[in-house]
Amino acid sequence: MRRRPPMSARQKAKFFCFLFACVLMVLTIVGMGHLRSILGSLAVTRVSNMVNGLVAEAVSGAVNSGEIQYNNLISLEKNDSGGVAALVSNMAEFNRLQASITQDILTRLGEMSDIELQIPLGTLSGSAFLAGRGPKLSVRMQSTGSCSARFENQFSHAGINQTTHQILLCVDVSVSILLPGFRTGTQVANSFAVAETVIVGEVPDTYTYFDSGNSVEEDAYEYSINNG
């Protein structure tokens, strides 16, 4: 049986270069896979936190400025005995507030379009020991968002012969996040109690139900509450 002649120095160099290229390619593929997963998670977390903050600021600004007042939104109609017979909503004011707050949030979203993420290179290895170690890789991302706001109402017992009526502002923000080589997205939902009152006496037999989530021009319709 003939023995294979030993490799020359040049052949060894080619073999080790090929082996190094294969290892480097594998590491690159694994690193890119980790990079994409980590970038997506970090981007969604970062954007969600920022969106929650700016939505809270926009709603708090509207409440603190006195723009949202219960008496401007709801009228109490009383019966002959002085009790509250019905609640009537001011749909024009609801629609105005909805449009104003939505536009404010969209303006704030436009100001956070460019965000920079920094990831330690050790995190890309997938090793828990190396996570957070090494020089940081800077990645710039862009985000675009859409927003919808709607008002809802909620009744709850506040004590003996008392009912709390709360007006809730529900804000839904959908964000598309553009990262190098791919895109991801997230949806952020928030609900805020922006106005309330306590109704003393029996709960009114009827009230004007408002839900401006579908269209700001949608007319209010009557919704009845029956108390046993």
DSSP 31: H
d(CA 135, CA 123): 10
Which one, of 8, 102, 5, 11, lies nearest residue 59 by Cα? 102
User: Distance between alpha carbon 145 and the CA centroid of its chain, in Å?
Assistant: 10
What pLDDT does 101 receive?
A: 92
- Tell me the average pLDDT of the chain: 75
Full strand arrangement of the beta sheet holding 182-200: 114-120, 136-159, 162-179, 182-200
Beta strand segments in 112-204, E: 114-120, 136-159, 162-179, 182-200
Higher pLDDT, 124 or 70: 70
- Cβ-based burial of 76 (10 A; exposed 0-12, middle 13-18, buried ≥19): middle
| Residue pLDDT, tens place only, 76-96 | 887 777 777 788 888 899 999
